[in-house]
Amino acid sequence: MAGPGRFAALTIQNLPVFVSSFPILGTDGLLGWDLLRQFVVVIDYPNQRLTLKKSKPDSTLNANLLGGSKPMLLLPGPAKANLLLQLDTGDNGSLCLSPLGSTKIGSYQTGRRLGFSKAIGQSLRIRWEKYAKDLTVDVYGKSQRFKRTLFFDADSDIGMFKRDGMIGGGAFRKGTLTLDAPNHHYDYVPE
C-alpha cells in the first residue's frame, strides 16, 4: 500500500506502508529510518517529543552520522579510536560491541551473565553473555558510563561500514538527540 503521508507541515508522497495489528501495547506503529533519514529528527527524551524538520545543506557540520539503511554514530572510544555504533532508539540505553569494537576500547574487565533477549518477530533467546564491566564512552562531549557492555558474537557490516557495536537510545535519555542525515551530522545536548 502506498500513498501520501502527512506529519504536521511535512508531506511525503508515495510512502509505502504496512498495515497490521501491532503486538506491542501502547504502540500505534513504527517510523523507519528509510523515512526519518530524509529529515532532521529531534528526539527530546525528557519531554518525550519527536520533531521532524526539513534539513538545510550545511557544509560546516562535522560528518559524524554515517550509514544509509541504519543510523551509525561516530564516537570517540575510550582508547582514542573512533567507534562506529549503530543507533537503536528503541533500546533502553545499553551498549554492545562487536569483536572489532572490543579491540578499540583499551583494557577492560569482563564478566558473564545469563541473558534473555527478544526482538519483534523473534523467539525468546537464553544464553550466557560476556560483557565488559564499567566502560565509559564519550557521547558527543559527555561521558557515559555503561555498567555492562555486552559483546556480539561476530562482526557485521552495515552497508559499506563495519559496525563496531550498537548504542541504545536510552544513552541519550537525559537530553536531546538531533539526527540530520542529509548533512551526515548528529548532536546531543544533555539537559
**Phi/psi of residue 102, each to 5°?**
-65, -20
pLDDT of residue 1: 39
Q: What is the pLDDT of residues 127-167, one digit of tens each?
A: 888 888 988 887 767 778 888 888 888 888 887 888 999 99
pLDDT at 87 over 80: yes
pLDDT at 2 over 60: no
Q: What is the pLDDT of residues 10-26, one digit of tens each?
A: 666 776 766 666 566 56
pLDDT of residue 28: 66
CATH of 40-190, one of 2.40.360.20, 3.30.70.20, 2.40.70.10, 3.30.465.10: 2.40.70.10
Please tell me the number of Cα atoms within 13 Å of 33 on its side-chain side.
17
Distance CA 98, CA 155 (A): 5
**Phi/psi of residue 182, each to 5°?**
-60, -30
pLDDT of residue 148: 86
Any idea where the domains of the chain sit in the sequence?
A: 40-190
SS3 140: coil
pLDDT at 46 over 80: yes
Which DSSP string corresponds to 92-136?
-S-EEE-HHHHTTS----EEEEEEEE--TT---EEEEEEEEEEEE
- Total-model pTM: 0.80
Give 117's pLDDT tier (boundaries 50, 70, 90).
Answer: confident
pLDDT of residue 126: 86
> 75 forms bridges with which residues in the sheet?
83
Mean of per-residue pLDDT scores for the chain: 83
Please tell me the number of Cα atoms within 13 Å of 16 on its side-chain side.
2
pLDDT of residue 3: 45
